[in-house]
Copies of this chain bind each other. A is one copy, B any other.
Amino acid sequence: MRETFHGQLAQLGEHLVEMCGMAAESMRLASRALLTADLQLAEQVLSSDAVLDRARQTCEELAQSMLALQAPVAGDLRTILAAVYGAEKIERMGDLAAHIADTARFTYPEHAVPAEFESLFTELGEIAAGMAERVGEFIVGDAGGGFAELNETDHAVDALHARALAEITGADWTHGVQSATSLALVARFYERFADQAVSVAKRLEFAETGERPTSV
């Protein structure tokens, strides 16, 4: 029974790691589609989102069957609940990447990101994708300290987000209202993507240690 349980737990972890990889990839491709006004790539991200949705459902069903058949307690129970929680958040990360791709599609053939903001949004996309990958590493490895690490990374994302908003709404903005609102929403999608990664890291650390990590 314990062996089955640990086999299933490993399987659940593998699914989640795969989901993190998909979310990171979606974020990278969506960012590229946004920055290069690549319609085909944007559509690829949008259609691949269904894969992540199914993966989340698979995780949930596996977790639910483990709860019903194995009645885990303590750390095992926390781990399974963290997996249910994480699967939902990682699916949401995919949704947010899809929103970015959707903005690229909506704006096409125009570029949603004015040239002077390209480096800022490139950086946002790279940091966000990297956070999804770090979550995957916390799942297979040691999740201790993961919350503090990603919380720190999230401060950088928040600073970029704030800078973007300040420039969009500043006196020097010359790209009009439509472009401003679209870019403000896109900036928020990146910021929310990063928030989800932080919350999964927090939950994974709680599952591992039994203590709710506090922010620094």
Query: Which residues of A are interface residues toward B (Cβ below 8 A)?
Result: 64, 67-68, 71-74, 77-78, 81, 84-85, 88, 165, 168-169, 173, 176-178, 180-182, 184-185, 188
Contact = CB atoms under 8 A, between A and B. Distances in A.
Nearest to A178: B169
Copies in the complex: 2
Contacts of A173: 177
Contacts of A177: 168-169, 173, 176-177, 180
A180 B178 CA distance: 9
Contacts of A85: 84, 88
A181 B178 contact: no
A177 to B, nearest CB: 5
Q: Which 7 A-B pairs rank lowest in CB-CB distance, beginning with the nearest?
A: A71-B71, A181-B184, A169-B178, A68-B73, A177-B180, A180-B181, A181-B181
Contacts of A178: 169
User: Which of A169, A178, A181 has the most chain B CB atoms inside 10 A of its CB?
Assistant: A181
Given A180-B177, A184-B184, A185-B188, A77 B81 contact: no
A138 to B, nearest CB: 20
Nearest to A74: B68
Contact of A165 (B73, B74, B84, B181): B181
A197 to B, nearest CB: 16
22 contacts: A64-B77, A64-B78, A64-B81, A67-B67, A67-B77, A68-B73, A68-B77, A71-B71, A81-B84, A84-B84, A84-B85, A165-B181, A169-B177, A169-B181, A169-B182, A176-B177, A180-B180, A180-B181, A181-B181, A181-B184, A184-B184, A185-B185
Given A64-B81, A68-B73, A85-B88, 15 more contacts: A64-B77, A64-B78, A67-B77, A68-B74, A84-B84, A84-B85, A88-B88, A165-B181, A168-B181, A169-B177, A169-B181, A181-B181, A181-B184, A184-B184, A184-B185
